[in-house]
Structure formats: structure tokens, C-alpha cells
Amino acid sequence: MTSSAGSGGPSVPRQRQRRSRLRSGRTPGRESPAPSALGDFQTLPLEIFQMVLNYLSVKDISTLSMVSKSISGRLVHYISTSSGSRRLLLQDFHQELPARTEGASILEHYRALGLLLKRCTLLLPTRDRLKYVHKVLSGVSCFKLNGCASPLHCLGLQCYGVFLQILTAGWDELECHRVFNFLWELSNLARKVQTVVSSKPGSARRLELRIRLFCRGVLLSPASRRSDSAFWLTRILKPWPMVNQARLLYIIFGPVSSRDVVPQEWLMENNARLLLLSGNSICFTFMASKAVNGRAVELARLMVFMVLAYRTPQFQESSPQE
């Protein structure tokens, strides 16, 4: 009696274990499959998933892209489709759009789109990120230097500028150099700038205007920080000798026509601010030229105004604190 009770006692929990395994569909030695990275979206066909995205704002889609790599891959595919491009790549650049959500404008839309593509391409190398972004935006003609028929009344380059500003925010200097070289080669800016700086002033007015709008809208966006603007301006001017740099600065920041009212001679304070925004390389070269040519009094006055301009709150916000 004792032996039969001792042998039959453990068999009851074993039978219960086998029954629980049969109910759960598991067999001994096999683990349950890992949950899908898509979660509940795994059961949805791709077409239904894209229909769901049509009800989400760009900011919500951007947040969704951070859920998992699989979700981000589906969003990358959605952005590349014709329906996704029509939804995300708004092209009403020649008139202010009506309010969508809380008065959002087309500039805010492309700011959100920049964050979306930044998150979707987070794991890619810089070169591949730029190629993908170019592939997505290649169909927007107003983002190109010669793409718009009426550039003075177009918001395309400004939208491109805020898009790139959000996309490259937080990138290190080497990555920003690659961005500039990519844009420089893609727009063939070297040849175009060479044409305008080597010709007589006003002989290529349309090309001068397009270079001005592209540089100010895309690279020198008004919403950019001063340190970022100084970086991009230094990259634009660096390949050229000083005489061409002066000509290029006039094209970018000077008057558009003779009807614009500008002073015959700049105030020393304005000269000092321009030098500070041009970067250390240009600033030191300019000051060294005055010192070599014996213009010590003018150099001393310029240094005083540079110190005064640097101590203003605008420059203190963009400079490292001591």
C-alpha cells in the first residue's frame, strides 16, 4: 500500500502538466514563438495599414516610427509610394495654406516631415540617409535651384530649408560637411557661382537671384541659429578668393535692384556684425589685411565695435557660456 501510494502520487501533477501543454498548444522541448515587432499591426494587410496612416497627422506618424524597426520599415515603404508622396509632399508653395491643425502652415508641415524622415533613417549611414531623402524629395521641382518659374513668390526653398534644419539638427560637423557637399554637387553650385563671380555685375541677374534665394532659403534659413548660419556661410565662401567672397556676399545679402534703399557706406557696427557672422577664417584674414597695409586706426575702431557687437544678447545666445 505504501509503495503503490508513493508511486502513484507524482503521476497526478505530471498528467496535469501534459493537459496544460495540450491546451496551450505547446509541446515539451519547444518554446513559444517570440512576439512580432509589428504587434497588432502584424494581422493587418499592408494596404489597410497604409489606410490607417491616412488618418494620422505627420507628427503622429513620426512618433509611430519610433516604436520598432519593423514599423519604421513599413513607414519608409509608405513614404515611397505614390499615395504617401501625394499625402506628405505638399506643393502649394505659391499661396499660404489654410489652417489644418491649430493654424499649422506649410512651413510647419515640412518641419514635421523633416523630423519624420530623421527618425525613419536613424540607423542608416549619413550617405544613405541623404540618398534616400533626395529620392523622396526629387519630385518637388520647387526644391531645386532652377525648378520654380516664379521663385520670388514661392515658399519652396524656405520649406526645403526648415526641412533640412530639422533633419540635420544634432549632426556633428563631419556629417554637416557631407550634407553641404551633397547639396553643392547636386545643384551644381560651383559652376553657377563661378559664372556670376567672374562676370560683370548684373550680366547674369537671373542666376544671381536664384543663387541668392537658394543660399538664403535653404542654407541660411532665418529660423537657423547664428552658429549654424556661420557654419553654412563659411562653407559657401571658403572655396573662393577674397575678392570673389566679397562679390558673393553682396549677391547673397545685398540689394536686389537699384530701387532698394541702402546707405552709401556701412556703419562700422554693421561691418563688425558681418565679420562675426562670417566665421573666424574670414574675420582673421580681413583684419590681418588691414594690419599689413598699415590701417591701424581703422583696425582699432573695428575691434572695438566687434567687442561691443559680440557682447549683445543675440550673440551671447549662440556662443558658449564662460
pTM of this structure:
0.68
* pLDDT of 117 over the 90 cut: yes
* Cα angle, residue 63 at apex, residues 135 and 219 outer, rounded to 5°: 45
Closest CA to 244 of 293, 288, 211, 290: 211
DSSP classification of residue 198: S
- Say how many CA atoms lie within 13 Å of 113 toward its Cβ: 24
Predicted local confidence at residue 321, as pLDDT = 42
Burial class (CB in 10 A: 0-12, 13-18, 19+), 196: buried
Predicted local confidence at residue 236, as pLDDT = 93
- Would you state the cell numbers that stand for residue 279, as one nine-digit string? 566665421
- Would you state the cell numbers that stand for residue 189, as one nine-digit string? 553650385
* pLDDT of 214 over the 60 cut: yes
Banded pLDDT at 166 (limits 50, 70, 90): very high
Closest CA to 137 of 193, 73, 182: 182
Predicted local confidence at residue 314, as pLDDT = 64
For residue 183, the tally of other CB atoms under 10 A from its CB is 20
DSSP 115-159: HHHHHHTTTS-HHHHHHHHHHHHTT-GGGSTT--S-GGG--HHHH
pLDDT digits (tens, 9 = 90+) for 130-155: 999 999 999 899 999 888 988 888 99
Predicted local confidence at residue 264, as pLDDT = 61
Predicted local confidence at residue 196, as pLDDT = 92
Percentage of the chain modeled with pLDDT above 70: 78
Q: Determine the Cα–Cα distance for residues 195 and 204; give it in Å rounded to an integer.
A: 8
* pLDDT of 43 over the 80 cut: no
DSSP 45-110: -HHHHHHHHTTS-HHHHHHHTTS-HHHHHHHHHHHHSHHHHHHH----TTSPPPPSSTT--HHHHH
Predicted local confidence at residue 38, as pLDDT = 62
- SS3 state at 219: helix
Mean pLDDT of 257-275: 72
- Would you state the cell numbers that stand for residue 158, as one nine-digit string? 524656405
Predicted local confidence at residue 234, as pLDDT = 92
- Higher pLDDT, residue 221 or 9: 221
Q: Determine the Cα–Cα distance for residues 176 and 211; give it in Å rounded to an integer.
A: 20
Q: Determine the Cα–Cα distance for residues 286 and 217; give it in Å rounded to an integer.
A: 27
Predicted local confidence at residue 176, as pLDDT = 92
- Would you state the cell numbers that stand for residue 23, as one nine-digit string? 491546451
Residue count of the chain = 322
- Computed over every residue of the chain, the mean pLDDT equals 81
Predicted local confidence at residue 202, as pLDDT = 79
Predicted local confidence at residue 259, as pLDDT = 63
Mean pLDDT of 121-137: 91
Predicted local confidence at residue 59, as pLDDT = 92
- Higher pLDDT, residue 156 or 311: 156
Q: Determine the Cα–Cα distance for residues 307 and 322; give it in Å rounded to an integer.
A: 16
